[in-house]
Amino acid sequence: MRLTEEWALRGIHNEDVALSQIGMETEAALPESLTRLCTNPRIQVRRGGEVRRNARCVVYWMQRAQRIHENPALDVAIEAANILGLPVVVYFSVISNYPNANVRHYHFMQQGLCDVESDAAERGVGFILRRQPDNSLEAFLEEVEAALLIGDENPCREPERWRSVLSRRLKLPFWTVDSDVIVPSAVFGRSFHLLHHFRPHLNRELPQFLVPGANLKPQYAWKPWKALAHFSPNGDITEGFKSLDRKIRPVDTFTGGTHAALRRLDDFLCKGISAYTRERNLPERDGTSRLSPYLHFGHISPITIAFGVQRAVEAGRVTTEESTRFLDQVIGWRELSVLFVKYEPNYDTWECAEPWARKTLMEHAGDVRQRYEYDALERGETGDDLWNAAQRQMVDTGWMHNYMRMYWAKKILEWAPDPARAFEWAVTLNDRYELDGRDPNGYAGIAWSIVGRHDRPWFNRPVFGLIRPMSGASLAKKFDSELYKRTYLG
């Protein structure tokens, strides 16, 4: 069933509402004093027009970048507010049925919102948290008499639809800011086939965009009025959400929020990054940063991570070679994944397959294969204990080691009835259990593993065809697989 925009924006029911019916003036120019801000490649002007006269604030609608510092969208909101002589208020709306989210994700997000509240007060901007059913963004904009609305970019399908619909309904300017990547995706304007095709373009742009955040000081402090409703992030933000999936329980292996993300980054830079090249592909060891959940929820910026790594190099804690390998994952693969999702309409189905991959998989569709049903996979009950351990790591901890994710997805291709079902099952399991699920990185990783995106043809073999295979026997020779299995299977 098609998802509805009401999940994000109360009162929006039809994205095809005629513009004439909602009184938009799409050709009205932005005020001259704000025009210069829109030359920033991070900004997309989704609706122009005049700002509200006698406005009381600028609103930043926080969604993807759930942090106060090193947040380009909030910086833009503050700069615009300073020009207009207004304060800034951050608005966060908790909806009961965000696509594919469950209580595990909401719990992690809520921990982050506690940091947002304290950091917002420290920076001098407001923070208003509301939940369904009293969370209409449009009503809030009228309630606080907003001059304009600043929001986050999000390349995923449904969030992008919400922004498109909202831009048609609003009667004030609406800009979105690409805060999730170092180089704004609009700079490239397309996706790339392979990482080594993308690197030269990325490296050319990095010097311009890999700079410290402005972290502007608001010139006008937010002073809320007593009647303005605000739900405390210390309460249960999911209370009364009857349709929310509560079967997937929160985990204690990760604590959400910017403060926890910065502690994890510091720990990695002090203890882990020097051995990154040697240990990153050893799943039985804690050799990776494990920052992906924080990047997914926007609790930390990739710019913060990159400058942290740079300081570690300057302090002599890590070599330039080690840092380059790590940043190739945090920047190169991650930003390639965002471009994949932004420019590939079928990013979460097997329809995104490379033509050569589709052809070879169809040619091998009738090959004899070991078969497992979805329920057996979800329970981690297969004849492959290495795969079962990876599944249990994800189910029990909310995260799976990066090296095991490739093997995990490729075995699903081997065991599912067909490639389309394999892709569907991998996406469903990933999005349900991973704290960093529902993310471009996850979709691109599954597409690489199952349908050859961002990869090349390999050697022809049963079931896989020309898709690069991975076997448990060869994998077990590369790390202590017995220790890994004991850790997660007991």
345-376 pLDDT, tens per residue? 999 999 999 999 999 999 999 999 999 999 99
The pLDDT tens digits of the residues spanning 425-482 come to: 999 999 999 999 999 999 999 999 999 999 999 999 999 999 999 999 999 899 999 9
Q: What is the pLDDT of residues 152-178, one digit of tens each?
A: 999 999 999 999 999 999 999 999 999
Question: Which residue's structure tokens are 């420019």?
Answer: 343
What order do you get walking across the sheet with 43-47 strand by strand? 43-47, 174-177, 146-152, 57-61, 88-94, 126-131
Determine the pLDDT at residue 30. 66
Tell me if residue 150 falls in helix, strand or coil: strand
Q: What is the pLDDT of residues 143-158, one digit of tens each?
A: 999 999 999 999 999 9
Residue 26 pLDDT greater than 70, yes or no: no
Beta strand 174-177 with 43-47: parallel, antiparallel or unpaired?
Answer: antiparallel
The confidence score (pLDDT) of residue 3 equals: 30
- Do the beta carbons of residue 146 and residue 56 sit within 8 Å? yes
Residue 470, helix vs strand vs coil:
coil
Tokens of 459: 């050697």
Percent of the chain with pLDDT over 70: 94
Cα separation, 326 vs 134, whole angstroms: 43
In the structure encoding, which two tokens stand for residue 473, read together? 């026997």
Query: Any residues with CB less than 8 A from the CB of 351 and at least 6 apart, and which?
Result: none
Residue 7 pLDDT greater than 70, yes or no: no
Residue 176: beta bridge partners? 44, 151
pLDDT digits (tens, 9 = 90+) for 466-476: 999 999 999 98
Report, as an integer, the average pLDDT of 237-261: 96
Q: Mean pLDDT in the chain? A: 92
**Residue 5 reports pLDDT greater than 80:** no
pLDDT at 221 > cutoff 60: yes
Could you tell me which of 117, 374, 405, 111 has the C-alpha nearest to residue 283? 405
Question: Torsions phi, psi of 436, nearest 5?
Answer: -100, 20
pLDDT tens column, 377-404 = 999 999 999 999 999 999 999 999 999 9
Q: Which is it for the CA torsion 371, 377, 379, 385, positive or negative? A: positive
Q: Name the residue ranges covered by the structural domains of the chain.
A: 5-182, 350-489
List, in sequence order, the alpha helices (H) in 124-184: 137-143, 157-169
Calculate what percentage of the chain has a pLDDT beyond 90: 86
Task: State how far the Cα of 261 lies from the Cα of 304, in Å rounded to an integer.
Answer: 10
Q: Is the pLDDT of residue 96 over 80?
A: yes
Whether the pLDDT of residue 22 is over 50: the answer is no
> Is the backbone peptide bond immediately before 212 cis, with ω within 30 degrees of 0?
no
pLDDT of residue 29: 58
Q: Per the CATH hierarchy, to which homologous superfamily does domain 5-182 belong?
A: HUPs (3.40.50.620)
Average pLDDT over residues 40-45: 95
pLDDT of residue 271: 86
Q: How many residues does the chain have?
A: 490
The CATH code of domain 350-489 reads: 1.10.579.10
SS3 at position 126: strand
Return the closest-CA partner of residue 386 out of 248, 293, 478, 286: 478
Q: Using the predicted structure, report yes or no on whether residue 33 has a pLDDT greater than 90.
A: no
Residue in this structure with the two tokens 């896989």, named with its chain if needed: 464
Higher pLDDT, 26 or 331: 331
Q: Could you please report the per-residue DSSP string of 391-454?
A: HHHHHHHS---HHHHHHHHHHHHHHSSSHHHHHHHHHHHHHHH-TT-SSHHHHHHHHHHHH-TT
